[in-house]
Amino acid sequence: MNKIFRTSVLLLLIGCAAVSPPSGGPKDITPPSLLSVDPPSGTTNITSNFSVVLTFSERLDESTLDKAFRIAPVLDVPLDIQLKREKATVTFPDNLVIDQTYIITIDRDLMDEHKNRLDQTYQHAFSTGSEIAKGEIRGKIDNPYDKSSTLFLYRVNGNALDSLFTTNPDYYSESDDKGFYHFSFLEPGDYQVLAVGASVGPVPINPARMSYGVHWESPLTISSSTDTLRNVNMRIHRESTALNVVAAHMETRCRGVIRFTNPVSLKNQKQPSIVLQIEITGDTIIPELVHQYVDGSNEIHFHTSQLKPGEEVRLIISGIVDSLDQELELFEVEVAVPEVDTSDLEIIHPAPGKTINIHPEQTFEIQFSDIVTVDMSDTLIRIQRKDGVFFSPIIIWDNPTQLTLVPEGGWESEKNYEVMLFGHHFIGPTGVPLPDSVVVFKVSVGKEVGYGGIMGFVLWEYSDNAVVAAKSIEKPQKIHQTDVNFDGSYEFKSLPSGFWLLSTFQDVNMDGRYSFGRAVEFQPSEPFLDYPDTVEVRANWIIEGITIKRGKKQ
């Protein structure tokens, strides 16, 4: 009996082990794809309660079905979707319209059991009539915030575009991870397309909360049932906020700060009539110094020696514009001057001890928190190379709070330095010097930057008043622009060596920058065209023949 019992237990354990899934192994990251549709897309003369079976490459997550399957035109009754492993059966309701094309969209919210999203958006059409419309809209989305984008398509039908975008879209799609999208099976008519940055269902747009993009043609017209509109490309962006003051106050008896919602630049103001003044008991005080910190684009700092502790004063500023030429309306605010000035002089930028990477042509900038007076009786700053060689600095005071320096003879490429600042020689407005007697900065100098050029042509229908933009891959915030000549030619004469992305846009409003357009109140974007390849710029070399033109794809 014991032997039989032991044998039974062993067989039971073997049987249990046989049905257990294997442990370990690589994680499944393969996205599911649609393998077949039965009956196939394009089937006509369908009747009420028509069903279609869609077979996918993976078992699906049933909880994602309702969100991922959509039908256009929208029906009063939802689709009946039944799932069995990798097969989804979709049944239409019994109130279908005669001679109507219905489009089933399966978007990328559909997931398999391993939570992998569908590889792309699929659209399939079925008609209660004898024909299916074959109009298409295709394009690519430039979305800096995410890999894929959501696409809304509206039938215009004579409606105003501003009110159109506040309604639910008629059609819905999603781009793939490379940005390509398409709408298929469209009837002839006028349409308006909208790209939305977030992965959301078909809802009315809220421009203040969504990143989105609009096209430069309005409306988009499909002239026949077989018409295809290609290159309906868009750039996603977020609407900029109006230029306003976030905060304004006196930090010390002598120093105040004004913070803005958007970046501003005192160096690049197009209007010279900036007004910054302080009013107290009927008198108007003009600050002795108005400036910005090296790394503070959203702030303006000002200094005055004419205020007393505890005073209540009024700050007034107007006339300043941000990077989008939005002008600040007259702003006034009551502020209090601190009773006690306990603020010590400090170094705002760069952080002492931190390694600062620069190239040989750059200068080294030091930003103090307040106006500085210097004791010239001894050495202020000393520069030492890592091999122990000392250099005298060339010092330029950009303003009483900021200095720029380089070693005599300049920085040597691919060398490391220490910049030593002797703090007791730098004295703040209260007569107190920097608290540290020696402040050390580490400077790492990179390779010498070489410069080259790019020459070519722009060949497309929007080349009038066009601009070519070159964006650095290594430093995406670095963008150079040049105008396109009357013959379609362009030239960049001095680009740092490296890899660049080229594009062109028609500067419709002649403001020198790309305009993304607006959804409400509707404004079309400016036409743009991207060069498909990366361009490598080499030092002392002019690359010729880079022609930006419409490609065959899309």
The predicted-structure confidence for 403-426, as pLDDT tens digits, reads as follows 999 999 999 999 999 999 999 999
| Burial classification of residue 460, based on how many CB atoms lie within 10 Å of its CB (0-12 exposed, 13-18 middle, 19 or more buried) | middle
Residue type, 503: S
Residue type, 311: E
More confident residue, 200 or 489: 489
Mean pLDDT of 206-224: 88
Give how far Cα 29 sits from Cα of 26, 40, 86, 447, Å: 9, 28, 17, 40
Cα–Cα nearest to 509, from 185, 243, 216, 151:
216
Domains detected in the chain: 34-235 (2.60.40.1220), 255-336 (2.60.40.1220), 347-445 (2.60.40.3710), 451-549 (2.60.40.1120)
CA angle centred on 67, ends 61 and 69, rounded to 5°: 90
At 183-204, the pLDDT tens digits run 988 988 999 999 998 766 666 7
Residue type, 91: T
What is the Cα–Cα distance from 314 to 295, expressed in whole angstroms?
27
Q: For all residues of the chain together, what is the average pLDDT?
A: 88
Q: Would you state the pLDDT for residue 554?
A: 47
pTM of the model: 0.77
How sure is the predictor about 270, in pLDDT bands with cuts at 50, 70 and 90? low
- Transcribe 53-76 into DSSP letters: EEEESS-B-GGGHHHHEEEESPPS
CB 456 within 8 A of CB 549: no
Q: Are strands 451-459 and 390-391 parallel, antiparallel or unpaired?
A: unpaired
pLDDT score of 25 more than 80: no
Tokens of 91: 């049944």
How sure is the predictor about 19, in pLDDT bands with cuts at 50, 70 and 90? very low
At 346-381, the pLDDT tens digits run 999 998 888 999 999 999 999 999 999 998 778 899
pLDDT score of 272 more than 50: yes
pLDDT score of 238 more than 50: yes
What is the Cα–Cα distance from 143 to 195, expressed in whole angstroms?
9
Mean pLDDT of 462-473: 96
Phi then psi for residue 57, to 5 deg, are -80, -15
